[in-house]
Amino acid sequence: MDGKVCVVTGATSGIGKATATALARLGAQVVLVARDRGRGEATAAEVAAAGASPPGLEIADLASMAQVRALAGRLGALERIDVLVNNAGLMAGQRRVTADGLDEVFAVNHLAPFLLTSLLLGQLTAAAPARVITVTSGAHAGARLDLDDPQLDRGWESWRAYANSKLANILFTRELARRLEGTAVTANCAHPGLVRTRFGREARLPMRAAVTLARPVMLPARRGARTIVYLATSPQVAQTSGAYFVDDYLDLEAQAHVFDGVIVSTISDVLMIGTGWSSWKKSRISPTVADSGCLAGVVSISSAAVRETSSTGPG
């Protein structure tokens, strides 16, 4: 991984921190994305001790689409991006609406990686071969995705909101991979397993209690990061795209559970995001059209959000 630039979101704890540390040990130049500057700087010091060079650090609240756009602008100044790891995520105990009018869980878990990836396609295609890895969860199997109410404005439930966002991660990965065919940029997603991290600390009491009881049998963070590092580095998956991995293995059963390509594409085209990407382009993405208005997300948006978004992609 010498000379490779790897961007990792949600990098200050748990799987994100373990992934960043492992990539640094392999010689990559890591860029950490954190919400809190103090924790970000502390993590950067630890990652620097593991690698040959100090990591970069970017601060952004991924619940804000404006901050995601600003983050993408700063990352766009990098000479190259070889690997993008969309790891940041949360499970909330109660519904919170962001300044953009979006459900916070859906915004952080799905829309942020969706938008960040979209805005960085130019850097990724220019650096190809490049890889996009999105951290999802086996919780997707419990999703009940209502295309008329993807943000659960009617009847929000903590577990359902999380599960739906994780299914959206997989749908996004499948369709992104299809549209990246021919670019030498791959897109895959991974379920890291039941990992002992700070994740779920904001969930409702029953979930927090279940997590506490399960902690003795949970995997350490470095073990949970293994599949993500494998997808970011292994030559064995250099040509693999649009897949769902568990424990370094392609999970064919889970892939069959998720909709086929026709339905995935239909869902992506039906509901457009409130992040500025107005529509999917039907052509393939290439270095010359990487700024196309593409990569539809599964979300309904308010008229205010529509007015605030732009109709053009990055230049």
Quote the CA–CA distance of 83 and 97 in Å, as a whole number: 31
How does 194-220 read in b/e, with b if 16+ C-beta sit within 10 Å?
ebbbebbebbeeebeeebeeeeeeebe
Interacting residues of 151 by C-beta distance below 8 A, sequence separation 6+: 102, 103, 106, 299, 300
Known catalytic membership, residue 249: no
Q: Are 32 and 20 in contact (CB under 8 A)?
A: yes
CA dist list (Å): 300 to 107, 273, 303: 11, 7, 10
Cis check: omega of the bond before 129, within 30 degrees of 0: yes
Residue at token pair 């909101």: 161
Cα separation of 51 and 66, whole Å?
A: 32
Q: What is the CA radius of gyration of the chain?
A: 18
Q: What CA–CA distance (Å, rounded) separates 26 from 10?
A: 20
Q: What number of residues does the chain have?
A: 315
Taking the C-alpha atoms of residue 134 and residue 129, their distance in angstroms, rounded to an integer, is 17
Angle (CA) 173-3-287 rounded to 5° is: 45
- DSSP for 95-162, please give it: --B-TTS-BHHHIIIIIHHHHHHHHTHHHHHHT-SEEEEEE--GGGGG----TT-TT-SSS--HHHHH
- d(CA 240, CA 131) in angstroms, rounded, equals 10
List 162, 230, 244, 249, catalytic entry: 162
Catalytically active residues, by annotation: 162
